[in-house]
Structure 1
Amino acid sequence: MASTIGMVLLMMIMVSLTSLASALSVNYYEHTCPQVESIVAGAVHKATMNDKTVPSALLRMHFHDCFVRGCDGSVLLKTKGKNKAEKDGPPNISLHAFYVIDNAKKALEAVCPGVVSCADILALAARDAVTLSGGPNWEVPKGRKDGIISKATETRQLPAPTFNISQLQQSFSQRGLSLQDLVALSGGHTLGFAHCSSFQNRIHKFSPKQAVDPSLNPSFASNLQSKCHIKNKVKNSGSPLDSTATYFDNAYYKLLLQGKSILSSDQALLTHPTTKALVSKYAHSQMEFERAFVKSMIKMSSITNGGKQIRLQCNLVR
């Protein structure tokens, strides 16, 4: 099946990333909590059966976690006292499905108390979200510790949907991620939904002389305008990020080449020769996209900046 990457390929990817995740191991819980993968997968599967938006939510949540203080589960912490936590920062207000991580943690605490970090649960859940959506499967390096700091102000570090290619490149390079990682991870937009506020800049008052971004396909732009009329006050109005928003495939890249991308940051990938070539490559080959996505996901999820503990509840510091 096109969405399945061979085990040989996965092993090659894992070997190539060993130095990046030297503190992590795919066998980290082999003796201390061998049920960890099946328990997390079960929680994700159960939630997805009731809500088809769960996979995209978990994938986005993991990305937002890793881009602030590394993959330490800090996005899961709740606001306490005067300290406003990451989840309440402007870019994270629309994050949801935190209950999936909480349910998985509760089940793990029943069989392996105090062993599995919330950061690892989130990394596993993001992988399971992709797999359940018809995407590839891969071995997730484990052994992250949970952070103890979460600040809403630090969510400004997240790449914005209005970023141009220079801003995107800087944001990714600061985290040790390349242009190839940028294009591959942007493919995660094959799952999910964008609120009108994320792309109003492209369909209303784009410039002093143009109402609509000229890089948008005219009929597609008109469709977006009908969904996001400037006077439309309907809560949660917006558009799927691609034509198969609950299925993990390479449609995102195909639509991008047709002028049917949603976000400015998507369109930005066509403004640099290296990223444009990669968009074309992944648009023409599901296998090449999956291979690159798996490699970049492992690389991103291996960004660890010194978590301090194993939380007993994912939304509270011990």
Structure 2
Amino acid sequence: MRAEASQMAGLVLACLVVLVVALQVNKALSLELHFYRNSCPQAELVVKRIAQKHFSNDPSLPAGFLRLHFHDCFIRGCDASVLIDSTDENVAEKEAPPNLTLRGFEVIDEIKSELEKQCKGIVSCADILALATRDGVAFAGGSAYALPTGRRDGTISIFSDVHIPGPSFSIADASKAFQTINLDLTDLTTLLGAHAIGFCHCGFFVQRLYNFRGSGLSDPSMDSNFLDFLRKSCPKPVEQNTNISADPKVFMTAKTSTPFKLDTAFYSGLLEEEAVLQLDQDLAFTDITRKIASDYVNRPKMFRRKFAEAMIKLGNVGVLTGQEGEIRLNCRRVNNPTSQ
């Protein structure tokens, strides 16, 4: 009887997982290309124009958008909840430690303000963020993929909900975390390719340089010359530095000449044991992820195509559609605060 009960419980759990995945797929299918073609025909052009203007002044902006979009989608799905400001009654997602270095909020605000002038209450903050990220990928040299739209905005943003895979996660733990949002190991390896652009604060990896896993030594997987290179930019911390703005930064592909180009330099670096983050470096040490990395280095066009596909898949995670959520009039706050 116990065996039968256990078998039945396992079957019920499996059915529930299938149901959740089916619901996510159905929601994603309710998104469509050019969703605003009648309600706000200029929406995608406005997003691209304003994003392009800021990119011209700050070529690292696509990296900021990518991280902002990922951190949004990983918590409660792609509902722009990461954009919401805290209130006296609630501490929002953006205050959580993994989100303190997120950027691009002001650009999203500017896009939203312009779209509210043209089409009041029509274009969601979630779609603005997804579209700005898509355009940023193209600005940085990636594929200009067609992005389905029709997302609606969430009304809940809670500090304690934030659980982003960290740079010291193992591949196995990061893969498990990705599975919770219906992304697989290939998606993980591909999306980490975003680390080809932008920069990283030393605080995210400094322990690899001086006290790896409490050993008092550096991470043995690092190339010795690369270790020396990073130590010049990231001195050994004397005490815990809580001032993020004062934390030194290095380019994610620290020794390449293309720090703002979404290319395969990231994968070349990790194969040469020159990845900045531990999670990135560990991609070189499992058979599956190393093969994917090698394939991308040898076939750059395949990487761009796979990256675009993974971004579309990421943008489908937990979307709100139809009458769910709302269209926020200001990306930093919900329309009706009592609904939070």
**TM-score scaled to structure 2, two decimals?**
0.85
The equivalences for 1:218-237 within 5 A come to 218-231=224-237, 235-237=246-248
- What does residue 153 of structure 1 align with? 160
Pair 1:56 & 2:63 matched: yes
CA distance in 2 between counterparts of 1:92 and 1:283 reads 30
Q: Structure 1 counterpart of 2:248, which letter?
A: S
- Identity score, percent: 38
What secondary structure does 2:50 align onto? helix
Aligned to 2:131: 124
Q: CA deviation at 1:272?
A: 2.2
Corresponding residue number in structure 1 for 2:19: none
Equivalent pair of 1:26/1:139 in contact (CA under 8 Å):
yes
Which amino acid counterpart does residue 170 of structure 1 have in structure 2? Answer: K
Query: Is the partner of 2:212 in helix, strand or coil?
Result: coil
Which residue among 281, 284, 289 is the counterpart of 1:270?
Answer: 284
1:3-48 C-alpha deviation (Å, 9 max, x unpaired)? xxxxxxxxxxxxxxx8672110012111111111110001111111
Residues 265 and 105 from structure 1, CA distance in 2 versus in 1: closer, same or farther, beyond 3 angstroms?
same
**Alignment partner of 1:162 out of 153, 158, 168:** 168
Cα RMSD over matched residues?
1.8
Distance 1:285 1:317 in 2: 44
Secondary structure at the counterpart of residue 194 of structure 1: strand
1:54: Cα distance to partner? Answer: 1.5
Aligned to 1:200: 206
Change (3 A) 1:208 1:199: closer
Is the contact made by 1:20 and 1:299 (CA closer than 8 Å) also made in structure 2? no
Q: Is 2:155 the counterpart of 1:141?
A: no
Aligned partner of residue 137 in structure 1, secondary structure: coil
Partner residue, 1:77: 84
User: Residue 113 of structure 2 aligns to a residue in which SS?
Assistant: helix
Of residues 304, 329, 334 in structure 2, which corresponds to 1:312?
Answer: 329
- State the AA in 1 paired with 2:267: Y
Change (3 A) 1:258 1:35: same
| C-alpha distance in structure 2 between counterparts of 1:287 and 1:275, whole Å | 18
Of 21, 24, 33, 2:40 maps to 33
Q: TM-score, normalised by structure 1?
A: 0.91
- Label 1:287 to 1:82 Cα distance change in 2 as closer, same or farther (>3 A): same
- Structure 2, unmatched stretches of 5+, are 1-24, 336-340
Give the Å deviation of 1:207: 4.7
Which shifted more, 161-170 or 270-279? 270-279
Where does residue 103 of structure 1 map in the other structure?
110
Q: Does 1:178 align with 2:184?
A: yes
Residue 311 of structure 2 corresponds to which residue in structure 1?
Answer: 297
The amino acid of 2:28's aligned partner reads A
Q: Retained in 2: the 8 A contact 1:183–1:269?
A: yes
Structure 2 match to 1:68: 75
Matched, 1:254 2:268: yes
Task: Give secondary structure in 1 for the equivalent of 2:175.
Answer: helix
CA distance in 2, matches of 1:277, 1:126: 27
Deviation at 1:164, TM superposition (A): 0.4
Once residues 233 and 161 of structure 2 are traced to their aligned partners in structure 1, the CA distance between those partners, rounded to angstroms, is 31
Q: Which moved more, 1:30-39 or 1:115-124?
A: 30-39
After TM superposition, give the deviation of residue 305 of structure 1 in Å. 4.5
Instruction: Give the equivalent residue in structure 2 for 1:238.
Output: 249
The whole-number CA distance in structure 1 between the counterparts of 2:226 and 2:185 is 27
2:151–2:319 CA contact under 8 A, matched in 1: no
Quote how far apart the aligned CAs of 1:51 are: 2.0
- Distance of 2:59 and 2:142 partners within structure 1: 15
The count of aligned residue pairs is: 301
For 2:172, give the aligned amino acid.
S
Distance 2:106 2:269 in 1: 33
Q: Specify the structure having the higher radius of gyration (Cα).
A: 2
Q: Distance in 2 between matches of 1:177 and 1:276?
A: 18
Deviations 1:53-80 (A, max 9, x none): 2111111100110000000000100011
CA distance in 2, matches of 1:24, 1:64: 20
Matched with 1:9 is none
Residue 246 of structure 2 aligns to a residue whose secondary structure is coil
Higher fraction of helix: 2
